[in-house]
Amino acid sequence: MKAVTWHGKRDVRVDTVPDPTIQEATDAIVRITTSGICGSDLHLYETLGPFMNDGDILGHEPMGVVEAVGSGVTNVAVGDRVVIPFQISCGHCFMCDQHLYTQCETTQVREEGMGAALFGFSKLYGAVAGGQAELLRVPQAQNTTIQVPDGPPDERFVLLSDVLPTAWQAVEYAAIPDGGTVVILGLGPIGAMASRIAHHQGHRVIGVDLVPDRLAREAARGIEIVDLAIHEDDLADVLREMTGGRGPDSVIDAVGMEAHGAPVGKLAHQLVGLLPDAVGEKVMEHGGIDRLSALHAAIDIVRRGGTISIIGVYGGTADPMPMLNLFDKQIQVRMGQANVKRWVGDILPLLMDGDPLDAESFATHTVPLDEAPDAYEKFQKKQDGAIKILLKP
C-alpha cells in the first residue's frame, strides 16, 4: 500500500510499504478514505525528530471502511463506516471507565513513561503506524472506532478523530462562566474550531493569531479578533481593555510548543535538531524546553481566579514557569490530550442536525495522498490559505 512516511526534519515522502494485517484478536483493518494533517504532525515534521524512526507512517486523523476484524471484535463489522480516534484505548480499564481514554492502562506506553498509545506519533507514543495511508491496522478496535452513518460526505465526520473533540475539550476545560469571555490564543484548526464551539454555546469569544486569513475566517463568523502581528508588545493590555480592565474569565492556549515569539526556545529546538538522535532524545527528555510565549501570555492575560485551558501540545521537561503569577493570581489550569470518545456524544448530534459549526466546509484543501509532501510544506508555512488539509488515499 501507499503511505506517508517520515524520513527526517521536513522530509516526508509517499512510500510503498507492506499492507497491515490482523495481529491480535482485538484488531481491525480499515481502508482509509480520508485522513487529516494536524498541527501535531508539524511538531514531528520540525521538532520531535529525535523520537521518530526513519520510515514511520504518519497520521492520526483518519476515517474509512472496515475491511477485516479480529475474532475478539464483535461490535464493529466489515463494511462499517468508521472514524478512528487519534488515541488507542480499550474501553474497559480503570482510566477508560472514567473516560480518560488518553490514559488507557491497556495501551499506555510504559517504556517511555507516557499515556495511551497514539497513531503515527513517534516512539514516545508507541511507534504505532499512522493513518495517512491506504490501510490502517486499528488495535483495540472494539473501542478505537466511532461508527458514523452513511450519507453525508467524509468531510462532515472526519474531524471527529481529533479537531472536534480536541476543540470541545479545550472549551469544556476552560470552564467559561455564563455570560463570560474566553480568549483563544491561536486560530489554527484547533483554536478556530474551539472559537466556533464557544461562540455556538453563547460565550463572548476573542481570537488571537498573526496569520491574516486565519483571523479573517473566524472574524467573518462573528467572533472578535486581535492581530498579534500588531499587538505583539501590548497583547495583554489590549485584551484587558476589551474586558473591563480585569482580563477574560478563561484563556485557551491552542498554540503549543512552537509558538511565535520565543527566541530562546526556538534556538534550543534548532540545537536539538543538530544533535545525533540518541543525544537529542536525552536532551529533550531531561532538559527540553518549549517555546512558551503563548502559555506565558495566557498567564498574563487571564483574570485573577480565572481558568487556563492548555490544548496546544508541550513536550519540555525543564520549562521555566512563572509560579509567582500562577499562584498569586489563583489561576486554575487544565490540560491534556483530548479524550476523544468522551465528547463524541455531545458533538455527533450537531453534525447530524444542520452542522452549525460548519465542519463539512472546514477543510481549506483536499488533495490526493501522493501530494502529502507538498501539503505538509504548505501547511507548515501557512501558504495558500491552508488552515486544514485532508488527504485522499
Sites of contact with Zn ion (CB under 5 A): 38, 40, 89-90, 93, 96, 104, 106, 162
Question: In Å, how far are 174, 298, 342 from 205, measured between CA atoms?
Answer: 12, 15, 24
Q: Which is nearer to ligand NAD, 34 or 40 (CB)?
A: 40
Under 8 Å between Cβ of 163 and 187: no
Under 8 Å between Cβ of 141 and 73: yes
How far is the C-alpha of 119 from the C-alpha of 137, rounded, in Å?
10
Near ligand NAD in 114-173, by CB under 6 A: 162, 166
| Amino acid of residue 388 | K
- From ligand NAD, Zn ion, none, which one binds at residue 166 (CB under 5 to 8 Å depending on kind)? ligand NAD
* One residue of 221, 231, 260, 392 binding ligand NAD per CB under 6 A: 260
Q: Which is nearer to Zn ion, 56 or 162 (CB)?
A: 162
Q: Looking at residue 19, what DSSP letter applies?
A: P
Total residues binding ligand NAD (CB under 6 A): 33
* 186 near ligand NAD (CB under 6 A): yes
Q: Looking at residue 167, what DSSP letter applies?
A: H
Q: Where are the alpha helices (DSSP H) in the chain?
A: 39-46, 94-97, 154-157, 163-174, 189-200, 212-219, 228-231, 235-242, 263-274, 277-287, 293-301, 323-328, 340-352, 372-380
Q: Which is nearer to ligand NAD, 76 or 386 (CB)?
A: 386
The closest residue (CB) to Zn ion is 38
Q: Which is nearer to Zn ion, 32 or 104 (CB)?
A: 104
Q: Which is nearer to ligand NAD, 66 or 215 (CB)?
A: 215
Question: In whole angstroms, how close is the CB of 269 to ligand NAD at the nearest point?
Answer: 13
Q: Which is nearer to ligand NAD, 69 or 193 (CB)?
A: 193
- From Zn ion, ligand NAD, none, which one binds at residue 90 (CB under 5 to 8 Å depending on kind)? Zn ion
- From Zn ion, ligand NAD, none, which one binds at residue 93 (CB under 5 to 8 Å depending on kind)? Zn ion
Q: What is the 3-state secondary structure (H, E, C) of 246-304?
A: CCCCEEEECCCCECCCCHHHHHHHHHHHHCCHHHHHHHHHHHCCCECHHHHHHHHHCCC
Near ligand NAD in 291-320, by CB under 6 A: 293-294, 311-313
Q: Which range, of 40-48, 75-83, 142-150, 198-206, touches ligand NAD by CB under 6 A? A: 40-48
Question: In whole angstroms, how close is the CB of 59 to Zn ion at the nearest point?
Answer: 9
* 337 near ligand NAD (CB under 6 A): yes
* One residue of 236, 338, 375, 390 binding ligand NAD per CB under 6 A: 338
Q: Which burial class, exposed, middle or buried, applies to 155 when counting CB atoms under 10 A from its CB (0-12, 13-18, 19+)?
A: middle
Note the residue count of the chain.
Answer: 393
Residues 6 or more apart whose CB falls under 8 angstroms from that of 151 comprise: none
Measuring CA to CA, which residue among 108, 169, 119, 114 is closest to residue 141? Answer: 119
Q: Which is nearer to ligand NAD, 29 or 190 (CB)?
A: 190
Binding site for ligand NAD (CB under 6 A): 38-40, 42-43, 162, 166, 185-191, 208-211, 214, 228, 254-256, 259-261, 293-294, 311-313, 337-338
